[in-house]
Structure 1
């Protein structure tokens, strides 16, 4: 029987295959194997009515994510890193909810593999963070990371990456500061800004140029709503952000943050 090892997760092409999920929650690291998670006492079958990645209803064997987050408190900050470099920054509070929008770690059973995400693509496995009742959050598409390899407890984004911060002269309730919160939730999983961030997926949004410098505000908002509708190419991976996910007032605040940061460029560290 042939076996194939993939760096970041151990994937073996047989029913004995074991993927690894690394958890580093600040009180010692823990690695979970596929088989352990499938047999977890809280594992159950979960129906997802509107799956963000598959664009259709899906059924998974899943564990409530909160049951794995030992010692995590609502005001903690977590980062889920995928095998492709996608790095979702997430406040812990929504992940700990037992009611309303609830986070689940879906586990791909090697005996019942999930379908590919598209032609020539892999599945969302081996681990995928999915939500029941996401509208109650609201939960953005960036909070559905798939092919998850690790989940870490980290300090807040503002503490780790001061180059992302708006001017300290702004009032706390300034729309630009709200835009910064929205940037963390919706953009930082794929993009860096001023070289700051952990994502290895999309381009930097300020260096060398900020999108507000080469898009008019109207076209930038249209691009965020429907990237393929404005710039169509087969390799395009950026999802669209509908008004249900990012209402018009919030979209304005996000664009306002980007425009503000165009005046706060910082040289990239060599």
Structure 2
């Protein structure tokens, strides 16, 4: 009996040594076992239903590739300094989206929600910009973001050849938590639509489109939208009722020159991101929304 106990004890010692050796190996490679266990999963709502993917699952897919953005005109947060491992966004969305889904909604953990036209993603199969979901490898984490301690991971939507399709900076969401096929913003939130009294105004219509691409990721309009980073621009008061146009133009270009506080997150939009003509159209849309509300 005593010899059996000693045999079990010796076996347990061997198991402990093996486990310790594995932990030491992981530590030497910069891999924390807990990091793998605690890593958040990505939720994808596609034509095939809703499922979750861990980073290890995505990195193990056969369509996972190394993507280098060097040489492209891009909105990459790391300015081409990182070579990504990524999977095609189209593959995650499924091959046959239902007809009423025309938008890819990408939600980030910080409240940023990008509404990307599905046609923009689909153009990647027809010589357009190619959308990839970059996956951060816990063994080789990406650099920390400017003025932050965390990286853009664990998931980041990036584009190859963005200039082919006019991809905007706000269509590069990082810290992604969820990707969903959805209906258009106007369909889900009718309060975003151009007011009937301005239906024939091309400038107001253009301003609406600028709002949906550049602003809705962070701001709601009269409660419409999913972003929670910045304030609603339509309620309780429309932003044009407490900002002059000159102030709004300056705020869009360089918000830190207009007002600043420790938790400020809005960054400026240069002319290459929002041309002057688009800012004027955006102001027309905001004024039209204020007029309709009154």
Task: Give yes or no for TM over 0.5.
Answer: yes
Q: Pick closer, same or farther for the CA change 1:171–1:210 going to 2, 3 Å.
A: closer
Larger Rg: 2
Distance 1:171 1:264 in 2: 12
Determine which structure has the larger helix proportion and give its number: 2
Match status 1:245 vs 2:273: yes
Which consecutive residues of structure 1, in runs of 5 or more, have no partner in the other structure?
A: 3-10
Match status 1:28 vs 2:53: no
Distance 1:254 1:137 in 2: 21
Match status 1:78 vs 2:104: yes
Greater alpha carbon shift after TM alignment, 166-175 vs 205-214: 166-175
Q: Pick one of 191, 203, 209 that aligns with 2:237.
A: 209
Task: Provide the TM-score with structure 1 as the length reference.
Answer: 0.86
Secondary structure at the counterpart of residue 212 of structure 2: helix
Shift of the alpha carbon at 1:24? 1.0
Task: Provide the TM-score with structure 2 as the length reference.
Answer: 0.79
Aligned to 1:144: 172
Aligned to 1:67: 91
> CA contact under 8 A between 2:135 and 2:153: conserved in structure 1?
yes
Shift of the alpha carbon at 1:17? 5.4
Q: Pick one of 66, 80, 90 that aligns with 1:45.
A: 66
Task: State how 1:60-209 maps to structure 2 within 5 Å.
Answer: 60-70=84-94, 71-72=96-97, 76-96=102-122, 97-98=124-125, 99-172=127-200, 174-209=202-237
Shift of the alpha carbon at 1:15? 4.8
User: Paired residues, what number?
Assistant: 258
> CA contact under 8 A between 2:46 and 2:97: conserved in structure 1?
yes
> CA contact under 8 A between 1:15 and 1:111: conserved in structure 2?
no
Which consecutive residues of structure 2, in runs of 5 or more, have no partner in the other structure?
A: 1-19, 24-31
